[in-house]
Amino acid sequence: MHKPSYIIGIDLGATVVKIALFKRGLKRLILKETFFTKGYPSQELLFDKLVNSINRLISSCLIKKSDILGVGIGVPGPVNSQRGLVYYFPNIPGWKNFPLKEKLEQKLGLKVFVENDVKLMALAELKFGQARGVKNCVCLTLGTGVGGALILNGSLFRGSSFVAGEIGHLSIDWNGPNCNCGSRGCLEAFIGNKQILRNARKLFGRDISLEEISRLAKQGNKKAGKIWQDMGFKLGIALSGLVNVFNPEKIVIGGGLANAGSILFKSVRSTVKQRAMRPHSKVVSITKSSLGYNAPLVGASVLVAVSLFKDLN
């Protein structure tokens, strides 16, 4: 009997959209197509471009739609993953309450599954990365914002309205700086890209890029090192609280700033060791994501398999 065995994974990012073809159960992508999100400045234009790109990818691979199990799509914002409904995208205008699953299924004639991109990174880590075989794991991405997702009892945890995991909006100082979310002292208000760059500008007395800070820190520059140390400390405080509450055995850190290097990770680890409770800290290890840049894309393909077959394989 003929068995469909291809999966399309999509990472709809605020900067770049990536579309890739996967063979079921494999991490390596067969073919990838990308385009800049900003090139399609309305919701309608971006949606049409997405549909056209998917169709072109399929035809360029010379496979039939009946060979495809489904399409997984990761999006940069909160979604109702059961209904495939986008609540909104903080950094792409015009997608409020958009029924992405329904609309894409109509256009493509394929099954579509929608999930938040950080949750997909966690699924990718669970199937192929640092969270393989792990029961309880906190995943986070460090970038413009601080994203998070939880693996609990071996499965992606979604919460009561599918929006669990907002680790960036755990307050570590109730009286701290204002956060975009409306609260104060959130982890993201301390260690989001913008705040790091602002701190660096003060310390260096000039504009400086994240790449330069990383390079300088690796060369032993004290000021640059202090930036990653401080960031690791604040992150460590938030993670200590999560370690006390969740008692995970693993924390996986991804996203651009995870490349800051060993100074950052040392600082995170020593803060958690110092601040979390002993029965909790002694069972947890903190590692860098091994999937990197393509993690949400890989996770989108895992989502299709998990949704259709109810387990990871």
177 Cβ neighbours under 8 A, 6+ residues apart = 184, 185, 189, 190, 195
Quick check: 306 binds a second copy (CB under 8 A)?
Answer: no
Work out how close the CB of 120 gets to a second copy at its nearest, in angstroms, rounded to a whole number: 17
Tell me the per-residue interface mask from 167 to 206 with a second copy, x by CB under 8 A, - otherwise: x-xxxxxxx-----xxxxx---------------------
Which is nearer to a second copy, 153 or 219 (by Cβ)? Answer: 153
Among 160, 205, 310, 313, binds a second copy (CB under 8 A): 160
For the CB of residue 186, give the shortest distance to a second copy in the complex, in Å: 8
| CA distance linking residue 75 with residue 54, whole number of Å | 16
CB 154 within 8 Å of CB 148:
no
- Return the residue of 27, 218, 226, 275 that touches a second copy, per CB under 8 A: 275
Please, are residues 284 and 251 in contact by the beta-carbon 8 Å criterion?
yes
Select from 43, 199, 244, 290 the one that contacts a second copy (CB under 8 A).
Answer: 244
Among 8, 50, 110, 242, binds a second copy (CB under 8 A): 242
Region of 10-18, 56-64, 214-222, 268-276 interacting with a second copy (CB under 8 A): 268-276
* Residue whose C-alpha is closest to residue 257's, from 198, 214, 203: 214
| Least distance from a second copy to the Cβ atom of residue 154, Å | 11
Alpha carbon distances (Å) from 153 to 53, 128, 156, 250, 294: 37, 17, 8, 12, 25
CB of 218 or CB of 275, closer to a second copy: 275
Residue 103 CB, shortest distance to a second copy, in Å, is 21
Strands ordered across the beta sheet of 285-288: 155-157, 146-152, 137-142, 250-254, 285-288
In 3D space, the residue among 164, 168, 142 whose CA is nearest the CA of residue 155 turns out to be 164
Can you tell me the distance from the alpha carbon of 86 to that of 77, in angstroms, rounded to the nearest whole number?
Answer: 8
Q: Give, as ranges, the residues between 82 and 141 that touch a second copy (CB under 8 A).
A: 87, 135-136
Q: Are 74 and 291 in contact (CB under 8 A)?
A: no
User: Quick one: 22 or 190, whose CB is closer to a second copy?
Assistant: 190
Residue that is written with structure tokens 């549909």 in the block: 51
Contact residues toward a second copy (CB under 8 A) are 78, 87, 135-136, 148, 150, 152-153, 157-167, 169-175, 181-185, 233-234, 237, 240-242, 244-249, 274-277, 279-280, 282-284
